[in-house]
Amino acid sequence: MRMLVKKNLLIRLVISLLVTYVLFRAQWNSASFSTSVSENPHQVWEFVSDLNNAKKLNPSIFDFYITDHDKGNYDHWEYGAVIYETMAFIPVLTNVNYAEFTLKTSPNKDHYKILSTYRTCFFRYACLHSKSEMTFSNDAAYGGTKFRELIDYQCPFIFSWLCSRELTNQRNEWIKRLKNTYQN
């Protein structure tokens, strides 16, 4: 009888651990966003590249600082930053992003990129990873800039709906503010 109780307890423990692992394991997701902006690609790329403009584009950012390890030249520049932000749907929850940025321009200066990687930490120890690739190119159809961002991000399965809504809300607001920056 005692052995049966221990066996049942062990089975419940293993099942509980397995369910917890499945629900809270970070899995990779992808999203993409695009728009056209009525300014040339170089100007838009420079504006977005300047982290001082981050608060203008992303209302959830409340502070940031550039880390010491910046290097490169105008055609290929790399720097790091620590960015503090709140979540749109849970404003009392803040996170810290440890970011690395790579800014690139094409040899004939008609195509620009911002590549970034983030380690986003909640409560200092619960960290998730993401990466973004922003491209700025000539918009042949409408003039100005064709902007596109591809984002790969981690999120625990149990919070996937929240991560998706948070990302979509944040990027749509970001795009709206970018477009408003260049409207006459």
Segment 50-76, tens digit of pLDDT:
999 999 999 999 999 999 778 888 889
Question: For every residue of 121-132, which 3-state class applies, written as one string?
Answer: EECCCEEEEEEE
Residue 17 covered by a domain? no
CA distances for 16 relative to 2, 8, 9, 25, 126, angstroms: 21, 12, 10, 14, 20
CA distance linking residue 112 with residue 104, whole number of Å: 6
At residue 59, what is the residue type? P
The confidence score (pLDDT) of residue 1 equals 67
- Ranges of residues in the chain whose predicted pLDDT is under 70: 1, 184
Residue 19 covered by a domain? no
Q: pLDDT for 22-41, tens place per residue?
A: 778 899 999 999 999 999 99
H and E: helices and strands count for the chain: 4, 8
**The whole model's pTM is what?**
0.89
Residue 127 covered by a domain? yes
Range of the domain at 159: 29-181
CATH of the domain at 65: 3.30.530.20
